[in-house]
Chains A and B, each alone.
Chain A
Amino acid sequence: MSQRLPGDQRAAPPAQLFHRGYYRNSYNSITSASSDEELLDGAGVIMDFQTSEDDNLLDGDASIGTHYTMTNGGNINSSTHLLDLLDEPIPGVGTYDDFHTIDWVREKCKDRERHRRINSKKKESAWEMTKSLYDAWSGWLVVTLTGLASGALAGLIDIAADWMTDLKEGICLSALWFNHEQCCWGSNETTFEERDKCPQWKTWAELIIGQAEGPGSYIMNYIMYIFWALGFAFLAVSLVKVFAPYACGSGIPEIKTILSGFIIRGYLGKWTLMIKTITLVLAVASGLSLGKEGPLVHVACCCGNIFSYLFPKYSTNEAKKREVLSAASAAGVSVAFGAPIGGVLFSLEEVSYYFPLKTLWRSFFAALVAAFVLRSINPFGNSRLVLFYVEYHTPWYLFELLPFILLGVFGGLWGAFFIRANIAWCRRRKSTKFGKYPVLEVIIVAAITAVIAFPNPYTRLNTSELIKELFTDCGPLESSSLCDYRNDMNASKIVDDIPDRPAGTGVYSAIWQLCLALIFKIIMTVFTFGIKVPSGLFIPSMAIGAIAGRIVGIAVEQLAYYHHDWFFFKEWCEVGADCITPGLYAMVGAAACLGGVTRMTVSLVVIVFELTGGLEYIVPLMAAVMTSKWVGDAFGREGIYEAHIRLNGYPFLDAKEEFTHTTLAADVMRPRRSDPPLAVLTQDNMTVEDIENLINETSYNGFPVIMSKESQRLVGFALRRDLTIAIESARKKQEGIVGSSRVCFAQHTPSLPAESPRPLKLRSILDMSPFTVTDHTPMEIVVDIFRKLGLRQCLVTHNGRLLGIITKKDILRHMAQTANQDPASIMFN
């Protein structure tokens, strides 16, 4: 990948991965960056490298100075330029390119410097004191704003999605903005058996052809359903394609990568936020087999990113920004499920890479604020955050652990199957011509989903409604066909729990329909996750698990009724007692399937019991989730998000994997024996032109700086982007810098003959403390260092002399190779 220097108007070679067209006007706008998109231009992020005391003594130079900035040592041309004496930071140095990894160590150092500076000035005046207080509290302000925005947007999404989903069926004539349930809310004509019929709600068949029942109206409703579903899907994918292509997909794999230190500019921007919110509603309303939880995490992180640009503490520091993003993702899950604690644990377990304790408290605060805002908007009309509130408290029995573990096994198997199938399909879409027609693909998937989903009443339902119905146990107040048991009508005594009853015909037909719904959902979710509209995975997985769980629950219930003299049931279930709760099986099944596909553990259990309020059922949930994780791990260690990260080739060094091979640093470092020698810069021997040629010819992201080619003693490390920006800025601003000017990385410039042009001092952009390991360091330790410190590259020395370099990409390739995967799939640095 060759990087074009600004001013270079040659056409880029066709094999170039990243088009740098917008890099041409780097530093004309030296304003503080107010968004990610402006950082793309390199617009002025001021970075401040304090020069530290030099190891002058090693050079043999006896000058002793404490805070030299730049001097004019030994130059005959004695006019001291003002710029030399001021330690003027070059705008743009210290920012990162798109699709590159940040340097965590450098960002943390910057933050500590900033904090020290503010603290040292604190006692000077009241204004400085206020500034330091503002700085300390700005973190809390950012997470509060993020929580408020996430809650508000989640409320908007929920209300709009509910309305648009019901728009496929009909419309409320008295108040066009109400969905079905809200329309019939105040009506007195609802009956016990048909709780959702009321005269104000008209289906499309009634409006268009005037009939409410009959085959004609069924076909009309079918056609209108398909029409609306296709319309919404087409709108969603066109909006994504025209305005914000980054808004498609779930977002969680990319957010995981961003939180581990990767930069994707524009991924968390304003347009992505707006388009993701709008198209998420359309995608959910079109009946596709997707959920909105993953995209809500993306929306919350966008809010966090946008608000962090208002505060200089976070806008200029990529590491601090990621703390805010961790808190924002906790807020996202919190509003998606109504589970604040589960959200924090999800952020800790799944999304974040570094999670210091300070972030834990802030994430909890953000989640709480978001949940509070959502509750005050009250989208569900019952002051409840919880979508699937279960109200039963029947106990579970020890023998039921057997079917729960069976459900766990099903969850693990389904998770493994789904991950393999989905990745295979995504890979095919990525590399063959299937991927050339994204709009057509979305329309086809929506059409197939709508055509097959309409006839089955369980798939025609909104998926959240389906889950709620499956979680609800059959009490005396239920009248759906799932609760069509043969009641003993003579019982006149008041019983709170209905004993186990034999199933009526309604239940059997419901089980058939549920089986078909299960197969349909399993197949469609494989093709739906990953299409070019915002799509989440949580709700479809929970639906699949809930269907399977309910079927198993009804089976066990009937088994207990008809064979109540078997050993298990005789011990614990008496005749006439309410023994089995099929709703509980649905809950456990949902948790097992979700755990099998995402491989979450604690956070999943906490989310599910916060979702349902069923604290008594933690042990069955844990048993099922653990079983599904073990079964799933037997087939492959990765969850769905890690698998997508690997598919896209993101440079994500997984903290959960262990590296257990006995290779040494010398085996992994570059250059290998067959490669050209390491591209290095010397401390004061190179000219501007040499450096520019080196940058043009190679594609490395950084160059070690050594004292001289003979000694190979390490001075520091210079990044490509910083070099480019510094040289270009020098050519524009400083006088006398030409192609043959010497570039000096040392404290003092060497003595030059009188006619030579002014030397260029680039010490300020040099990283004086690069990490080094020796060539005999085991790779286990090297991988650990990279993980724990968040390094991008590490230099390898031998007997004190520079030998080579190991980058994060090399490590990822090496790990892929030792795991027998394709090392060429690692695409980014």
Chain B
Amino acid sequence: MAALGARLCSLLLLLAALAGLGAEAKNSEDVRCKCICPPYKDHSGHIYNKNVSQKDCDCLHVVEPMPVPGPDVEAYCLRCECKYEERSSVTIKVTIIIYLSILGLLLLYMVYLTLVEPFLKRRLLGHSQLIQSDEDIGDHQPFANAHDVLARSRSRANVLNKVEYAQQRWKLQVQEQRKSVFDRHVVLS
């Protein structure tokens, strides 16, 4: 329940951040009027960008300096296509930072689970514990010790052990899933 609450809070924070930033006051660099003008007579095609408001987004305001002389301006401008675009660079920055931080945390946790934890357990518990229970013979996956820890930790009931208990239960579930999907190919083949 606590985990769900925490997850919900983080999700709502993410929602608020993204939606709020999307509607934030626009950074002046984040709007533009983009006019694409095709080749005309002997002038090559060109793209013009300018930071104007939406009502001023047309060829006459944006195309500067005008490459064609006066009487041809209308013909030139009729071929040009102008579009008003806006974006939110803050949203993009925040999203990428959130994503990379979650990815980084997951990578660290993965390295911890696969490399550091078995190493620590082996040093703490000694070699006798390396003889696995008969169900896990040959199981070199991470979480292989979950059964024993689960059985042992049920007696104590303070917060740290509750966390560890939940973690071991999660590891057991992931191990089951891994067996179904990767080893026995029963689901999701």
Q: Which residues of A contact B (CB under 8 A)?
A: 11-12, 17, 19, 21-22, 25, 31, 34-35, 37, 40-41, 148-149, 152, 155-156, 159-160, 163, 175, 177-178, 182, 185-188, 190-193, 195, 235, 238-239, 241-246, 248-249, 254, 264, 266, 270-271, 274-275, 278, 281, 306, 309-310, 373, 376-378, 381-383, 426, 429-431, 435, 438, 476-477, 479, 492, 494, 530, 532, 647-648, 827
Contacts and interface: CB of A to CB of B under 8 A. Distances in A.
A324 B181 CA distance: 26
B176 A238 contact: no
A149 B8 CA distance: 10
Q: Is chain B's interface secondary structure helix, strand, loop, or mixed overall?
A: helix
B92 interface: yes
Contacts of B41: 492
A22 B189 CA distance: 24
Contacts of B103: 235, 278
A177 B93 contact: yes
Interface string B150-189: 0000100000000000000110111011111110111111
B188 A246 contact: yes
A246 B174 CA distance: 9
A434 B45 CA distance: 54
B139 to A, nearest CB: 11
A241 B182 contact: yes
B29 A186 contact: yes
Nearest to B42: A489
A31 B87 contact: no
A383 B134 CA distance: 59
Given A155-B95, A241-B182, A494-B75, 9 more contacts: A19-B179, A22-B173, A192-B46, A244-B174, A246-B177, A246-B187, A274-B102, A477-B38, A477-B45
Contacts of A188: 49
Contacts of B8: 310
A270 B91 contact: no
Contacts of A177: 92-93, 96-97
Given A278-B106, A309-B4, A476-B79, A377 B18 contact: yes
Given A270-B4, A827-B186, A11 B135 contact: yes
Contacts of A21: 135, 147, 172, 176
Given A177-B96, A376-B23, A383-B86, A155 B189 contact: no
Contact of A193 (B45, B106, B110, B134): B45
B43 to A, nearest CB: 10
A243 B22 contact: no
Contact of A245 (B7, B37, B180): B180
Interface residue tally on B, bucketed by range: 35 or more
B89 A175 contact: yes
**Which of A21, A37, A178, A309: most chain B CB closer than 10 A?**
A21
Nearest to B181: A245
B45 A245 contact: no
Contacts of B79: 476, 494
Given A21-B172, A22-B173, A186-B29, A152 B18 contact: yes
Given A266-B173, A430-B189, A185 B18 contact: no
B4 to A, nearest CB: 5
A828 B135 CA distance: 23
A41 B114 CA distance: 26
Given A19-B135, A22-B173, A37-B170, A381 B87 contact: yes
B22 A376 contact: yes
Contact of A195 (B47, B96, B176): B47
A248 B22 contact: no
Contacts of A186: 29, 32, 49
B69 to A, nearest CB: 15
A568 B45 CA distance: 36
Interface string B96-116: 111100110011001001100
Q: Name the residue among A175, A192, A438, A494 with the largest chain B CB count within 10 angstroms.
A: A192
Contacts of B91: 159, 377-378
A266 B89 contact: no
B99 A373 contact: no
Contacts of B187: 246, 254, 264, 648
B56 interface: no
Contacts of B99: 156, 159-160, 278, 281
Given A156-B98, A159-B95, A477 B36 contact: yes
A281 B173 CA distance: 25
B87 A185 contact: yes
B18 A156 contact: yes
7 contacts: A19-B176, A177-B92, A177-B93, A193-B45, A244-B174, A270-B3, A310-B4
B178 to A, nearest CB: 5
Contacts of A431: 185
B47 A190 contact: yes
A560 B24 CA distance: 52
B102 A479 contact: no
A12 B98 CA distance: 44
Contact of A494 (B78, B102, B169, B180): B78
A488 to B, nearest CB: 13
Contact of B173 (A37, A155, A438): A37
Contacts of B182: 241, 245, 438, 532
B131 to A, nearest CB: 15
A706 B113 CA distance: 53
Nearest to B134: A11
B181 A178 contact: no
A242 B181 CA distance: 12
Nearest to B85: A382
Given A271-B170, A435-B189, A381 B85 contact: yes
B15 interface: yes
Contacts of B75: 494
B146 to A, nearest CB: 9
B4 A34 contact: yes
Contact of B14 (A152, A239, A647): A152
Contacts of A22: 169, 172-173, 176
Given A192-B44, A241-B178, A373-B19, A235 B189 contact: no
Contact of B177 (A266, A306, A430): A266
B118 to A, nearest CB: 13
Nearest to A264: B187
A275 B105 CA distance: 12
Contacts of B173: 22, 37, 40, 266
B188 A156 contact: no
A69 to B, nearest CB: 32
Contacts of A163: 92, 96
A25 B172 contact: no
B3 to A, nearest CB: 7
Contacts of B88: 378
B178 A245 contact: yes
A12 B19 contact: no
B47 A191 contact: yes
A156 B21 CA distance: 13
Contact of B15 (A11, A149, A192, A648): A149
Given A37-B173, A160-B99, A177-B97, A249 B188 contact: yes
